């Protein structure tokens, strides 16, 4: 079996969906298992809807209307003759979603987020599945929540592998093409969960692992994994081959082309990952597999914006030792913040943090009574793998450097 994953960019409009069909027709879809994520930037649109549901109810219907109009435009374009079946399905989902919102009494933002944002994936896969059937690519729609079992850490759920393996064995067959959602799962109480933003790549890897797939292909709007994000760098080089370890490192430091959790399951079973362009089918793309670290060997640039550089020192100039450090980490962990860099000296301890859930103020309150705190918000963390003197100069010459850390393969620089 082969696993294909099409992300939001590939199905951002009706032509995108037609192109997915073209890709399947050209490369073949026998023994393929298909994971498709939400259309375009719909997950962001759903995030706004949830914000409105909690904090800004008067704008709520504007967001619902936008989401509805977006999907309907695609449906109207794709199904020029017979709409009824797909409209009924999409309307059914809309009703289910609004019913949930009316009945819901929970103020747990993360719980509600997962119950709602998951509809973006359901709408998308319903539409793509119906369109493919319509044009003769026979397929079955599968609710991925029957397959991916997780714990109840909403918005960042952890997969229960034993149950997931069992469910995938029960629900996946190779008789017909199956198409399912990325990013979402279900906990033991039958609530919907999500695996973290951009988690559909990970979903593809979970299926590949459980199905012992021959390979995974994630179809992107770029030629493959490049040595820098083309949205921020003018000149980029395609990485033709990289090892799992190199890909894990790049994803870990923030190369957003692959979700960081995707690689481990594939590496465990030696399943190659191809990152290919859905626009340019002739291009070879990137192969991630065992072996050669990186080819061609060029510096790789990764930028994480919107970071917080936090420096902590003791109030009485005593050393920052293990006990303080573990206490600090506990507090950071409690606030669900992510540490992207650590630097320690005798009396101070610096961390570069990502505050996805906007908990920094709470962290400050808990730290300020015990430590002296200094922080810079809105800084950027630049990472260069396989750096050269010239590549470091490029960053240092044009920016104010707040912190720099060098290891053999990697340099990290925090700039204002
Ligand atoms: P998907 O449609 O699967 O969700 P994403 O938008 O998440 O795709 O990922 C593709 C995008 O990742 C590209 O358009 C590109 O801007 C960005 N990107 C960031 N870093 C890299 C990199 N090193 N190589 C290629 N693309 C990258
Ligand atoms: N739709 C989800 C997101 O945008 C998952 C994904 O696309 O991978 O985060
Ligand atoms: Mg994405």
Q: C-alpha angle 338/236/214, rounded to 5°?
A: 70
Which ligand lies nearest to the CA atom of residue 194 in the structure? 2
Per-residue pLDDT, averaged over 403-407, amounts to 95
Is the confidence at residue 269, as pLDDT, over 90? yes
In the prediction, which pLDDT does 301 show?
Answer: 95
Q: What per-residue confidence (pLDDT) applies to 369? A: 86
- Strand arrangement, sheet containing 401-406: 338-344, 348-354, 300-314, 371-385, 410-415, 401-406
Question: Whole-angstrom Cα distance, residue 54 to residue 358?
Answer: 15
| Site to substitute for ligand 1 among 128, 257, 260, most atoms within 8 A of C-beta | 257
**265 C-beta closer than 6 A to ligand 2:** no
**How close is the Cα of 210 to the center of ligand 3, in Å?**
22
pLDDT grade for 189, boundaries at 50, 70 and 90: very high
Q: Ligand 3 being an ion, which residues bring their Cβ within 5 A of it?
A: 7, 198
According to DSSP, residue 372 is labeled: E
CB atoms < 10 A from the CB of 140, how many?
A: 13
The atom of ligand 2 lying closest to the CA of 202 is: 8
Q: What is the pLDDT of residue 115?
A: 98
Indicate the top mutation candidate among 220, 224, 248 to test ligand 1's pocket, ranked by most ligand atoms within 8 A of CB.
Answer: 220
| Residue whose CA lies nearest to ligand 1 atom number 10 | 257
DSSP notation for 4-69: EEE-GGGGSSHHHHHHHHHHHHHH--TTEEEEE--STTHHHHHHHHHHHHHH-GGGHHHHHHHHHH
CA distance readout (Å), 279 to 19, 64, 215, 283, 409? 8, 31, 20, 9, 33
Q: Name the strand (E) or helix (H) holding 83.
A: none
If you average pLDDT over residues 396-413, what whole number do you get?
94
pLDDT tens sequence across 141-157? 999 999 999 999 999 99
Any atom of ligand 2 within 6 Å of the Cβ of 198 = yes
User: Distance from the CA of 278 to the center of ligand 3, in angstroms?
Assistant: 14
- Asked whether the predicted pLDDT for residue 321 surpasses 80, the reply is no
Residue 298 Cβ contacting ligand 1 at under 6 Å: no
Mutate which of 200, 201, 221, 299 for ligand 1? The one with the most ligand atoms within 8 Å of its CB, which is 221
Element (H, E) at 383: strand 371-385
Note if the pTM is more than 0.85.
yes
pLDDT tens digit string along 331-374?
999 999 999 999 988 778 899 999 988 999 999 999 998 889 99
Q: How far is the CA of 201 from the centre of ligand 3 (A)?
A: 8
What mean pLDDT comes out for the span 202-223?
Answer: 97
Burial profile 323-344: b = 16 or more Cβ within 10 angstroms, e = fewer? ebeeebeebbeebebeebbebe
C-alpha 336 to ligand 1 mean position (Å)? 25
Q: What is the pLDDT of residue 141?
A: 98
State in Å: Cα 349 to ligand 2 middle.
34
Intra-chain end-to-end CA distance of the chain, in Å: 48
Ligand 3 centroid from CA 357, angstroms = 19
The helix/strand/coil state of 343 is: strand
Rounded CA-CA distance 324/328 in Å is 6
The reply to whether ligand 2 has any atom less than 6 angstroms from the CB of 197 is yes
Residue 119's pLDDT is 98
Q: Does any ligand 2 atom lie closer than 6 A to the CB of residue 204? A: no
- pLDDT, one tens digit per residue, over 42-97 is 999 999 999 999 998 889 899 999 999 999 999 999 997 778 899 999 999 999 99
Q: How many CB atoms lie within 10 A of CB 407?
A: 8
**Percent share of the chain, pLDDT over 90:** 86
The answer to whether the CB of 152 is under 6 A from ligand 1 is no
Strands 401-406 and 215-220: unpaired
CA–CA separation, 170 vs 163, rounded Å?
Answer: 11
Instruction: Compute the distance between CA of residue 348 and CA of residue 312 in angstroms, rounded to an integer.
Output: 5
Which pLDDT value is given to residue 347? 77
Q: Give CA–CA dist 340/336, Å, rounded.
A: 13
């Amino acid at each position: 079996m082969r696993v294909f994953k099409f992300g939001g960019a590939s199905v951002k409009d009706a032509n995108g969906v037609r192109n997915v069909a073209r890709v399947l027709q050209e490369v073949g879809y026998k023994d393929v298992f298909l994971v498709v994520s939400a259309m375009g930037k719909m997950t962001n649109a759903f995030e706004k809807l949830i914000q409105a549901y909690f904090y800004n109810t008067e704008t709520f219907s504007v967001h619902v209307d936008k989401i509805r109009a977006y999907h309907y435009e695609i449906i109207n374009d794709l199904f020029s003759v017979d709409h009824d079946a797909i409209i009924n399905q999409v309307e059914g989902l809309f009703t289910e979603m609004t019913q949930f919102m009316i009945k819901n009494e929970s103020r747990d933002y993360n719980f509600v987020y997962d119950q709602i944002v998951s509809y973006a994936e359901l709408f998308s896969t319903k539409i793509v599945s119906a369109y493919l059937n319509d044009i003769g690519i026979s397929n079955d729609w599968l609710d991925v929540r029957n397959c991916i079992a997780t714990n109840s850490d909403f918005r960042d759920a952890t997969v229960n592998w034993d149950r997931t393996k069992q469910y995938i064995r029960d629900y996946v067959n190779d008789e017909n093409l199956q198409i399912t959602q990325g990013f979402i799962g279900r906990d033991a109480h039958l609530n919907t969960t999500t695996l973290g933003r951009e988690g559909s790549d990970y979903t593809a890897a979970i299926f590949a692992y459980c199905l012992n797939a021959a390979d995974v292909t994630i179809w992107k709007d770029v030629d493959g994994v490049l040595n820098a994000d083309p949205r921020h760098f003018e000149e980029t080089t395609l990485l033709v081959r990289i090892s799992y370890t190199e890909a894990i490192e790049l994803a870990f430091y923030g190369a957003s082309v692959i979700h960081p959790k995707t690689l481990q399951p594939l590496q465990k079973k030696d399943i190659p990952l191809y990152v290919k362009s859905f626009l340019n089918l002739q291009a070879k793309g990137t192969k991630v597999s065992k072996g050669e670290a990186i080819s061609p060997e060029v510096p790789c640039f990764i930028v994480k914006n919107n970071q917080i550089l936090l420096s902590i020192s003791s109030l009485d100039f005593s050393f920052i030792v293990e006990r303080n450090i573990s206490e600090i980490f506990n507090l950071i962990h409690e606030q669900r913040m992510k540490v992207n860099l650590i630097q320690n000296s005798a009396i101070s301890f610096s961390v570069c943090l990502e505050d996805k859930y906007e908990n920094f103020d709470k962290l400050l309150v808990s730290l300020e009574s015990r430590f002296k705190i200094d922080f810079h918000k809105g800084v950027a963390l630049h990472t260069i793998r396989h750096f050269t003197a010239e590549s470091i100069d490029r960053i240092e010459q044009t920016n104010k450097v707040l912190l720099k850390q060098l290891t053999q393969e990697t340099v990290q620089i925090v700039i204002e």
